[in-house]
Structure 1
Amino acid sequence: MVQTTSRFFDEMARLMNDAAGVAQGVRREAETLIKAQAERILRDMDVVQREEFEAVKEMARLAREENEVLKARLAALEAKVAASGGGPTDATTAVV
């Protein structure tokens, strides 16, 4: 009786281990399918990727910085022209 009970528990333990392995395999397969489906949906929606977004964000930051530098330079040139009494300081006037 003791050996039969022990064998029964051994078989149950093996069955549970096999079931756990199968469940993990099913989980991995489901994750793979869900990820592929999500990527397909995002690709169909034409959503921008993170790398592209970061690149454009950096370009915009650099353009803003350059714009600020040019604005300061223009203001300095206008002030210089105004101080020398050399003419209009209107922004539409070309200063070279």
Structure 2
Amino acid sequence: KEFQHRFELILVFMATHSGLTRWQDISLDDTMDYQASEHFSKKHPRATDEIWYKRAVEQHYVHPDSFVFSIPPDEIADNMTVVTASRAIFA
């Protein structure tokens, strides 16, 4: 809970080459504005086409344990910006 509040975590998800396969919403009182907008799972059904997916796979070859943080360019000045942290995992 402390981690969720500290970083205002609102959603965790898993995406594979098949697309967005799992997600879990995290409810916090101060994230209602985000939840009122279109849900992440509806916006990104084809995960492999998303820049955060592609960059995570590319970064895996440089440093397998690193994360890639993505910020939409049109929302940089907005205090409600959603930052996507992604990491590729190969089994």
Question: Which TM class, normalised by the smaller chain length?
Answer: under 0.3
Q: Which has the higher strand share?
A: 2
Instruction: Return the index of the structure with the highest Cα Rg.
Output: 1
Q: Which has the higher helix share?
A: 1
TM-score after normalising by structure 1: 0.20
Higher RCO (CA-CA < 8 Å; seq separation 6+)? 2
TM-score after normalising by structure 2: 0.21
